[in-house]
C-alpha cells in the first residue's frame, strides 16, 4: 500500500492531540506501519497545534513531506487555510466551520479571512472539501469538547477501516464515564460524511 498522509491542525484546547493519537492507534490496529509527530505552538491553549500522521506498509519518517498531505483535518478555519499548501491537488480537506480569532486579529493588527474568500481558496486548491459544522454537532450532543471525535468520525467515513476498529480504539482512549458520549459523537460525524460522499 502507498503511504497515506494525514495532517491535523487546530488550536490548543480543541482536542487535536487526542484526535492525532486516535488516528495513529487506528492505523496500527488496522495493520499499518504508523509514524506520528505533534507540534505545539508556544501557548498550548489557544496556540497553533499541528499533527502529522502517516499510515503505510513501511513508513520511515513521522513528518509528511511538503505538499503531500492526502487528508487535512482542520479544527478551525484559519488554521486550515494556513496548511492548505501542504495538501496535494487530489487531496481532501475536512474543515470545521469554527472561527477562533488569534491575538493578531483581536488586537486589530490583522483581519480574519472572509468566509467566501476562504471557501474559494479551499475549492481552488483541492478536489474535495467538506465544510463540517462540527462544533454545532458536538453542542447538540451536549458537550462541545467532543468536537474532536465528531471530526474523527467524519474522517473515518472516507477511509477503508471498519467502524468497529475506530470505536474500539476510541473506547480505550477516553475516560470510561465519557465513552458512550464519545461513541455517539463518532457516529454523528461518520453519518454526516456518509450522507455527503
HEC string of the chain equals: CCCEEEEEEEECCCCHHHHHHHHHHHHHHCCCEEEEEEEECCCCCCCEEEEEEEEECCCCCCCCCCCCEEEEEECCHHHHHHCHHHEEEEEEEEEECCCCCCHHHHCCCCCCCCHHHHHHHHHHHCCEEEEECHHHHHHHCCCHHHHHHHHHHHHHCCCCCCHHHHHHHHHHHCCHHHHHHHHHHHHHHHHHHHCCC
70-90 average pLDDT score:
96
pLDDT, the chain, mean = 94
The model's pLDDT over 4-22, given as tens digits with 9 standing for 90+, comes to: 999 999 998 899 999 999 9
The model's pLDDT over 27-63, given as tens digits with 9 standing for 90+, comes to: 999 999 999 999 886 555 568 899 999 999 999 999 9
This prediction's pTM: 0.95
CATH topology of domain 4-194: Pyruvate-ferredoxin Oxidoreductase; domain 3 (3.40.920)
- Quote the CA–CA distance of 22 and 15 in Å, as a whole number: 11
Amino acid at each position: 500500500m502507498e503511504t497515506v498522509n494525514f495532517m491535523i491542525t487546530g488550536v490548543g484546547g480543541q482536542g487535536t492531540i487526542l484526535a492525532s493519537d486516535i488516528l495513529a492507534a487506528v492505523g496500527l490496529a488496522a495493520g499499518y506501519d504508523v509514524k506520528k509527530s505533534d507540534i505545539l505552538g508556544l501557548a498550548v491553549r489557544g496556540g497553533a497545534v499541528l499533527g502529522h500522521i502517516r499510515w503505510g506498509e513501511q513508513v520511515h519518517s513521522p513528518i509528511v513531506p511538503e505538499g503531500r498531505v492526502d487528508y487535512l483535518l482542520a479544527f478551525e478555519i484559519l488554521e486550515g487555510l494556513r496548511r492548505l499548501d501542504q495538501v496535494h491537488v487530489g487531496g481532501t480537506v475536512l474543515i470545521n466551520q469554527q472561527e477562533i480569532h488569534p491575538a493578531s486579529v483581536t488586537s486589530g493588527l490583522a483581519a480574519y479571512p472572509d468566509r467566501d474568500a476562504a471557501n474559494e481558496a479551499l475549492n481552488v486548491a483541492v478536489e474535495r472539501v467538506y465544510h463540517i459544522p462540527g462544533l454545532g454537532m458536538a453542542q447538540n450532543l451536549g458537550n462541545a469538547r467532543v468536537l474532536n471525535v465528531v471530526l474523527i468520525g467524519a474522517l473515518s467515513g472516507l477511509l477503508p477501516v471498519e467502524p468497529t476498529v475506530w470505536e474500539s480504539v476510541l473506547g480505550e482512549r477516553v475516560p470510561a464515564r465519557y465513552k458512550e458520549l464519545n461513541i455517539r459523537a463518532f457516529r454523528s460525524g461518520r453519518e454526516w460524511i456518509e450522507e455527503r460522499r
